[in-house]
Structure 1
Amino acid sequence: MGLVEIMVALVVGMLLITGVVQVYTGSRTSYMLQDDMARLQENGRFAFYLLAQDLRMAGYFGCRRDVPVTSMLDTTDTVFQFGNPVTGYEGSASGHSPALPVDLDLTDVDSGNDVLIVQRADALQTRLTSTIDETSTSAVIHVEAGHGISNGDIVMVSDCEAATVFQAGGSGAGPGNPTTVIKNTGQGDPGNLSKEFGHAYNEDSAQISKVFTTVFYVAPGVSGEPALFRKVNGGTAEELIDGVERFHVDYGLDPAGAGRVIRYESAADMSAAEWGAVSSVRISLLLRGRRDNMVDEPQSLLFNGEVVDGADRRLRSVITTTVAMRNRIR
């Protein structure tokens, strides 16, 4: 083989190698982009599923219509104040509005993002097997088997007239007894102020269930990325998804109780009286991928009525959903 043939072969080989490298690089970039897109969609679906699970049940305290709730808990903490099914705090560069209560104890909460609080009873309810007098001081509540209530749970006895919230001091009058729940004082955290119930509950119409107050907020996650967290009944914070740059909530108002939302307002614009008129919640998330250099230039996206410019070349996506609070639908 002559020198010319060798040179031609080398050039052809280099062209082939360059083509293979370009195909590989393009395929790898395409795969990473598709992977980031899939992660954003999956994170969005998962977050909305968890948020909707609580919001659809918001305000449910054992009956479809509103009932007055009396708390026997020995605390004034925000998460144990039972009045409005949802409340919120709007985040901004200058902090939350209204001011975020210190007792929420949200470690490293991002002041630029909203905080949402949802209160509801568990859908799993158990009937009473004996009547509770209004001034009863008995620590033992007789219920059907399979109630699933454990020591320390925040629970509620309710009918369609009233509801009483307290902390269970035990799940039975004795070992192996699955048909009683204990309501006592002088134990537990926060514990109970009284053994009384403030209302008579008939075994034919009353039931007992767990109660959940869930706080959703954004803070740095384990990976260092901003993440959506939830905290139930003041317990340990749980990271749900990461890559949450923005979390905003608007509240749909139905002041006449006609089953029709007339306007949406942010938490900062809500008056104290308007929280009781919320019947739906609109949630917006701005999510970002984990990899940089996935787009040719930083994205500019419309979020909550304003253009948000990305700080880098990560893939970003805005997703929004509206959830109706079923217990508020007339």
Structure 2
Amino acid sequence: MNRYAQGFSLVELLLALAVGLVLILGVSQVVVSARTTHASQQAAMLLQDDARFVLGKMIQDVRQAGMFGCLATAYIENAPPAFDRPIGWSATGSSKSLTVVTADSGAEGGKPDWTVLSDCIGTAQAYLGNSPPPAPGQIRFAIRQLTYTFEAGQLKVSTPAAPAKTVLVDNVQVFEISFGVAANTGSTRVVRYDVSPVDESLIRSVRIQMTLRDPTGRVKDQAYSVVAALRNRLG
């Protein structure tokens, strides 16, 4: 054997393999951790998007509840009984619902439940569904009755014209509704929140609390809470 030949000893080779294995495991751990973090962030973003969509829609409808045109309900001829209760709710077992009679912003599409024609001076008339074309000086207001129902882990919406419930979001773990009430009919200040107020005329706002769960279990449950004021009762 050539005494000048050089190479690695068995100990050096084993040491190099051990160091390489440690480095590979470290890099792999970083990659796995980064992918897990990214997946968790994506799951959280999906839950936030669902919550933003649903709560944004409900806030808009609650804010316009009781808005039936430019004249008070007492001046609207043929006004349906639903106009007298722009906010309603019910709870049966694990099912809960919130009903709002609100101005249709146009985003819903389809046929309105009622239409109000008004000259915004002293006359107004309500029609079931669509109304005749407005005469000169008249304004047409589309009205919808929307019922949001929480049942079996889903939040759904329906209308009298479309009674089949449409699912808005799945994986709902908690859905709570409470109402901000004033001390008297002449006040706009909310003094407390009640899940079932006795006097509906004192309702000034609606608080919605919702918790969503990631079906893949990558993030913990996400809780959301919003408050929407009834603009038609706050002036």
Fold shared per TM-score above 0.5:
yes
Q: Percent identity?
A: 27
Rounded to whole Å, the distance in 2 between the matches of 1:45 and 1:150 is 23
The aligned residue for residue 217 of structure 1 is 149
CA 1:61–1:67 in structure 2 vs 1: closer, same or farther (change >3 Å)?
A: farther
Shift, 1:85, TM fit: 1.0
CA 1:234–1:318 in structure 2 vs 1: closer, same or farther (change >3 Å)?
A: same
CA 1:120–1:152 in structure 2 vs 1: closer, same or farther (change >3 Å)?
A: closer
The aligned residue for residue 114 of structure 1 is 96
- Out of 241, 257, 263, the position equivalent to 2:169 is 241
The aligned residue for residue 231 of structure 1 is 158
Shift, 1:217, TM fit: 1.6
CA 1:151–1:280 in structure 2 vs 1: closer, same or farther (change >3 Å)?
A: closer
Cα RMSD of the aligned pairs, angstroms, is 3.0
The aligned amino acid for 1:156 is V
- The C-alpha deviation readout for 1:97-124, integer Å capped at 9, x for no partner, is xxxxxxxxxxxxxx42531001013357
The aligned residue for residue 126 of structure 2 is 164
- Out of 184, 193, 196, the position equivalent to 1:264 is 193
Shift, 1:68, TM fit: 5.8
Rounded to whole Å, the distance in 1 between the matches of 2:47 and 2:135 is 50
Does residue 290 of structure 1 match 2:211?
no
Gaps of 5+ in 2: 1-7
Does residue 32 of structure 1 match 2:25?
no
Q: What TM-score do you get using the length of structure 2 for normalisation?
A: 0.80
Does residue 82 of structure 1 match 2:83?
yes
Rounded to whole Å, the distance in 2 between the matches of 1:281 and 1:70 is 29
Q: How does 1:49-68 map to 2 (within 5 A)?
A: 49-63=56-70, 65-67=72-74
Rounded to whole Å, the distance in 2 between the matches of 1:12 and 1:152 is 72
Shift, 1:264, TM fit: 1.6
- Larger strand proportion of the pair: 2
Shift, 1:218, TM fit: 2.1
* Preserved contact between residue 66 and residue 83 of structure 2 (Cα < 8 Å): no
- Out of 28, 31, 50, the position equivalent to 1:21 is 28
Shift, 1:34, TM fit: 1.6
The aligned residue for residue 101 of structure 1 is none
Gaps of 5+ in 1: 74-79, 91-95, 97-110, 125-148, 172-179, 182-200, 221-225, 295-313
Shift, 1:325, TM fit: 0.8
The aligned amino acid for 2:48 is Q
* Preserved contact between residue 179 and residue 193 of structure 2 (Cα < 8 Å): yes
The aligned residue for residue 143 of structure 1 is none
CA 1:245–1:152 in structure 2 vs 1: closer, same or farther (change >3 Å)?
A: closer
CA 1:16–1:27 in structure 2 vs 1: closer, same or farther (change >3 Å)?
A: same
Q: What TM-score do you get using the length of structure 1 for normalisation?
A: 0.59
Rounded to whole Å, the distance in 2 between the matches of 1:21 and 1:83 is 65
* Preserved contact between residue 71 and residue 82 of structure 1 (Cα < 8 Å): no
CA radius of gyration, larger in: 2
- Larger helix proportion of the pair: 2
CA 1:5–1:150 in structure 2 vs 1: closer, same or farther (change >3 Å)?
A: closer
Rounded to whole Å, the distance in 1 between the matches of 2:75 and 2:155 is 32
Three-state SS of the structure 1 residue aligned to 2:188 is: coil
